[in-house]
């Protein structure tokens, strides 16, 4: 049983994959946080901290504790605890005081679903236990059900909260975090993944300091700027050593990840929907479900934390038939043609792609309405006969006749002011009457808080998907949300719009992925602007960044790998000079960088010289040989692009009999040192053959002494090694 309740000490022990999370019912009825970290052997330890009374602070009304210093789970504000709260409920008397105390609990096998929201899941009840604790405020009748799932085989705890109004009056929910708790100490570094368009998810590490700190989004989407993730790292924590605690939110809208270090040296951590401009009217009997937070603990450094997230997200967040299937090598026409294509031009690219072994042709933006640039037609999901006179079906059949599958781009959540849809339904976009409608990329955002808008777009997209043999969809989303108001909601519910909108997005994704289970969906938001766990629940892969420059991609893919598995990252080889940063890098280097993700090309193959096509054939053969291993293996980051000129990582098969090592050097250095790369994750008792050649090395030597790294001359060079264990596979 991953979850145990020790009746004597009224303590819950959540044992998940080698880590323990412990909380207790305090004599006051509050839930007290006790421990999260290394596994605890005994139960009912003397874990409950003595009352930590401080001078000049309040004492709880029942005299049991000091509200300002007690370590809590899911706290409230207003009775002497001045740290940020987990939940705020404005009641009909205008106040927001709550005294939620323990009212009961249940432990159930498996993991209940979160209605309408993406979440991790179990495939059998034996995989996890879920603790459901109810706390109740007697005065208002507000009840909060806290859910904690402990996975048997993953060092992960998932948390969420459901707020139920069992009182007689309507209330306004103004904050409903998914998880909040207090750590006894604050000697940690805060790690977050931040950036901008074309430079998503760079690593930032700062020492925690007294006061509030964290990251958030107010953009209506998780966004390019901050990922819904933070980690707290023990001092000196590196890839292999130290404690790493990850906090990841399965949500794609406005989020907040907060840490507050108190004067007493403790740290409160919280994660959830951003309370900024959020409120939810709860009529008597109504409930609100907060999204899921996924907490991972590792005693084996940042690398251990990442591998735990990778295994969990790869196998129990991503769903559907593509979860475990090999992903096709694709060619996307965007950087080859932009909006300027004909069926013949596309077919010309496809012909060359098929000849070198590409498996999927993706037609990007510009195939519908009258879309010859980005100023029109979003919302009019009807093929443009001026561009494709014989229709989509004809083009898709020409492509499939070449032995490739056919994929198509959509941007379902958007509407162009110059579109038939907008002319018919000018109030279907997010807007506030009488106010300007701010455009970004000449487009507005559809109001997906309205079920009829979601249904209309769903019908239109489904009709296209049924009209031709379409095997893949690229689901784009190219702007953030402004004037977040809905024509369908009354004044008192306008602050629900942003969350209702993202629930509508999820509902459409759920509908289309269920209706078309064989289609592979790839997410995109101006590149990696919404690369988050919520999206991965519907779309097993995501376009990592619009920046396809191989050298920039080292940082972007390395940063993304802190939480997300390689199997979720779209990575394409594009032309040089690169279209985003104008850098020229060798084709081999670009291919080696892209081979660590879902591999593809995004350039005009019809314009490529034969020598390049030959190199691409080699790349494709390599990807076909290694993609299953790269998608399912364990990632070990060996050298960080944020630290120097050398970047390296490797992927090891679950049985440790195969591995692939990637190393990249940026600028050439005169008379450089010959670095040795110490490998990780191999079996020290096995011998490994390098690149199918005569060299055989022990796993112990490869990890302790390392591998000589000898780069060719020139800037932007790469080395790839394939390791295969010698000797028979044990029975």
Interface residues with ligand DGJ (CB under 6 A)?
A: 334, 364-365, 409, 476, 478, 524, 526-527, 543, 546
Q: Which residues pair with 242 in a beta bridge?
A: 300
Burial of 61 (0-12, 13-18, 19+ CB in 10 A): exposed
Burial of 671 (0-12, 13-18, 19+ CB in 10 A): exposed
- Residues with Cβ < 8 Å from 159, sequence gap 6 or more? 146, 147, 148, 149, 178, 179, 292, 293, 295
> Does residue 374 have an active-site annotation?
no
In angstroms, the CA 329 to CA 353 distance is: 10
Do the beta carbons of residue 310 and residue 254 sit within 8 Å?
Answer: no
Q: Which residues pair with 183 in a beta bridge?
A: 267
3-class SS of residue 444: strand
Kindly tell me which of 77 and 543 has the beta carbon lying closer to ligand DGJ: 543
Kindly tell me which of 129 and 546 has the beta carbon lying closer to ligand DGJ: 546
**Least CB distance to ligand DGJ at residue 600 (A):** 11
In angstroms, the CA 376 to CA 388 distance is: 17
**Least CB distance to ligand DGJ at residue 513 (A):** 20
**Least CB distance to ligand DGJ at residue 466 (A):** 23
Q: How many CB atoms lie within 10 A of CB 634?
A: 20
How many CA within 13 A on the CB side of residue 395?
28
Kindly tell me which of 195 and 527 has the beta carbon lying closer to ligand DGJ: 527
* Residue sitting closest to ligand DGJ (CB): 365
**Least CB distance to ligand DGJ at residue 398 (A):** 22
**Least CB distance to ligand DGJ at residue 335 (A):** 8
Chain mean position to CA 703: 31
What are phi and psi for residue 418, nearest 5 degrees? -95, 80
Length of the chain: 731
What are phi and psi for residue 142, nearest 5 degrees? -75, 130
Kindly tell me which of 60 and 443 has the beta carbon lying closer to ligand DGJ: 443
In angstroms, the CA 418 to CA 421 distance is: 9
Cis, bond preceding 49 (omega within 30 deg of 0): no
- Among 552, 633, 638, 644, residue whose Cα is nearest residue 589: 552
Kindly tell me which of 258 and 364 has the beta carbon lying closer to ligand DGJ: 364
Kindly tell me which of 295 and 605 has the beta carbon lying closer to ligand DGJ: 605
Burial of 115 (0-12, 13-18, 19+ CB in 10 A): exposed
In angstroms, the CA 270 to CA 257 distance is: 6
Q: Which residues pair with 108 in a beta bridge?
A: 130
Kindly tell me which of 143 and 364 has the beta carbon lying closer to ligand DGJ: 364
Given 129, 137, 364, 476, the catalytic residue: 476
CA distances from 233 to 188, 271, 559 (A): 5, 17, 16
> Does residue 364 have an active-site annotation?
no
Kindly tell me which of 453 and 525 has the beta carbon lying closer to ligand DGJ: 525
Q: Which residues pair with 473 in a beta bridge?
A: 408, 521
**Least CB distance to ligand DGJ at residue 221 (A):** 13
**Least CB distance to ligand DGJ at residue 423 (A):** 22
Q: In what order do the strands lie in the sheet with 646-652?
A: 634-639, 646-652, 658-665, 717-725, 687-690, 696-698
**Least CB distance to ligand DGJ at residue 546 (A):** 4
**Least CB distance to ligand DGJ at residue 95 (A):** 47
**Least CB distance to ligand DGJ at residue 571 (A):** 13
Kindly tell me which of 157 and 594 has the beta carbon lying closer to ligand DGJ: 594
Q: At what angle do helices 610-632 and 587-594 cross, to 10 degrees?
A: 20
Kindly tell me which of 541 and 718 has the beta carbon lying closer to ligand DGJ: 541
- Residues with Cβ < 8 Å from 102, sequence gap 6 or more? 25, 29, 30, 31, 133, 134, 135
**Least CB distance to ligand DGJ at residue 334 (A):** 5
- Residues with Cβ < 8 Å from 127, sequence gap 6 or more? 110, 111, 151, 152, 153, 316
In angstroms, the CA 616 to CA 606 distance is: 13
CA distances from 189 to 246, 260, 395, 515 (A): 12, 13, 53, 45
Kindly tell me which of 256 and 573 has the beta carbon lying closer to ligand DGJ: 573
**Least CB distance to ligand DGJ at residue 374 (A):** 6
The residue ranges of DSSP E strands in 284-359, in sequence order, are 287-289, 292-298, 330-332
Chain mean position to CA 317: 10
Kindly tell me which of 21 and 409 has the beta carbon lying closer to ligand DGJ: 409
In angstroms, the CA 731 to CA 105 distance is: 46
**Least CB distance to ligand DGJ at residue 330 (A):** 12
Given 365, 384, 546, 549, the catalytic residue: 546
Kindly tell me which of 407 and 533 has the beta carbon lying closer to ligand DGJ: 407
DSSP assignment string, 55-79: TTS---TTSS--TTTS-BBS--SSS
Q: What's the DSSP call for residue 40?
A: P
Supply the residues annotated as catalytic.
476, 546
């Amino acid at each position: 049983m991953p979850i145990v309740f020790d009746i004597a000490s009224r303590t819950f022990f959540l044992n998940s994959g080698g880590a323990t999370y412990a909380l207790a019912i305090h004599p006051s009825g509050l839930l007290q946080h006790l421990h999260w970290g290394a596994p605890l052997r005994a139960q009912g330890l003397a874990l409950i901290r003595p009352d930590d009374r401080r001078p000049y602070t309040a004492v709880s009304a029942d005299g049991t504790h000091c509200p300002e210093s007690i370590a809590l789970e899911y706290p409230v504000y207003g009775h002497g605890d001045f740290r940020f709260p987990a939940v705020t409920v404005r009641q009909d008397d205008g106040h927001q005081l709550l005294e939620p105390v323990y009212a009961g609990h249940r432990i159930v096998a498996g993991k209940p679903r979160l209605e309408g929201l993406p979440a991790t899941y179990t495939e059998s009840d034996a995989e996890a236990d879920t603790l459901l604790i109810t706390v109740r405020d007697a005065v208002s009748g507000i009840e909060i059900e806290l859910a904690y799932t402990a996975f048997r085989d993953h060092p992960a705890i998932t948390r969420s909260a459901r707020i139920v109004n069992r009182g007689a009056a309507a209330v306004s929910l103004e904050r409903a975090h998914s998880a909040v708790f207090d750590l006894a100490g604050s000697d940690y570094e805060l790690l977050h993944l931040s950036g901008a368009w074309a430079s998503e998810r760079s690593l930032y590490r700062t020492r925690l300091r007294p006061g509030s700190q964290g990251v958030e989004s107010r953009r209506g989407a998780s966004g390019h700027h901050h990922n819904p993730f933070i980690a707290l790292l023990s001092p000196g924590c590196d890839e292999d050593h130290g404690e790493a605690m990850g906090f990841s939110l399965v949500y794609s809208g406005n989020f907040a990840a907060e840490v507050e270090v108190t004067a007493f040296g403790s740290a409160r951590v919280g994660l959830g929907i951003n309370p900024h401009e959020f409120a939810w009217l709860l009529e008597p009997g109504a409930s609100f479900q907060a999204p899921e937070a996924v907490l991972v603990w590792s005693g084996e450094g940042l690398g251990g934390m990442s591998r735990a997230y990778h295994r969990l997200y790869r196998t129990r967040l991503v769903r559907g038939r593509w979860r475990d299937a090999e992903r096709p090598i694709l060619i996307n026409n965007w950087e080859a043609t932009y909006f300027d294509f004909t069926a013949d031009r596309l077919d010309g690219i496809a012909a060359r792609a098929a000849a070198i072994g590409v498996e999927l042709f993706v037609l990007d933006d510009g195939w519908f309405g009258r879309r010859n640039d980005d100023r029109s037609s979003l919302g009019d999901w009807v093929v443009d006969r001026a561009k494709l006179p014989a229709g989509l079906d004809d083009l898709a059949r020409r492509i499939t006749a070449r032995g490739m599958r056919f994929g198509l781009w959509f941007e379902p959540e958007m509407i162009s002011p110059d579109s038939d849809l907008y002319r018919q339904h000018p109030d279907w976009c997010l807007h506030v009457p009488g106010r300007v409608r701010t455009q970004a990329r000449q487009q507005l955002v559809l109001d997906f808080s309205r079920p009829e808008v979601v249904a209309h777009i769903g019908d239109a997209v489904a009709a296209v998907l049924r009209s031709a043999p379409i095997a893949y969809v690229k689901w784009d989303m190219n702007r953030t949300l402004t004037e977040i108001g809905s024509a369908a909601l009354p004044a008192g519910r306008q602050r629900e719009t942003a969350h209702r909108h993202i629930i509508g997005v999820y509902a459409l994704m759920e509908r289309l992925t269920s209706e078309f289970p064989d289609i592979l969906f790839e997410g995109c938001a101006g590149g990696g602007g919404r690369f988050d766990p919520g999206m991965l629940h519907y779309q097993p892969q995501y376009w990592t960044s619009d920046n396809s420059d191989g050298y920039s991609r080292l940082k972007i893919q390395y940063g993304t790998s802190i939480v997300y598995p390689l199997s979720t990252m779209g990575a394409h080889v594009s032309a040089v000079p690169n279209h985003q940063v104008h850098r020229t890098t060798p084709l081999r280097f670009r291919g080696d960088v892209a081979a660590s993700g879902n591999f593809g090309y995004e350039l005009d193959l019809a314009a490529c010289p034969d020598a390049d096509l030959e190199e691409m054939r080699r790349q494709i053969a390599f990807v076909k040989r290694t993609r299953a291993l790269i998608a399912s293996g364990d990632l070990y980051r060996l050298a960080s692009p944020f630290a120097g000129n050398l970047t390296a990582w490797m992927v090891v098969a679950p049985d440790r009999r195969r591995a692939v090592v990637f190393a990249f050097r940026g600028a050439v250095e005169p008379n450089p040192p010959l670095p040795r790369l110490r490998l990780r994750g191999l079996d020290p008792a096995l011998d490994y053959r390098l690149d199918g050649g005569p060299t055989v090395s022990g796993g112990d030597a490869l990890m302790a002494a390392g591998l000589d790294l000898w780069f060719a001359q020139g800037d932007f060079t790469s080395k790839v090694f394939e390791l295969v264990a010698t000797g028979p596979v044990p029975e």
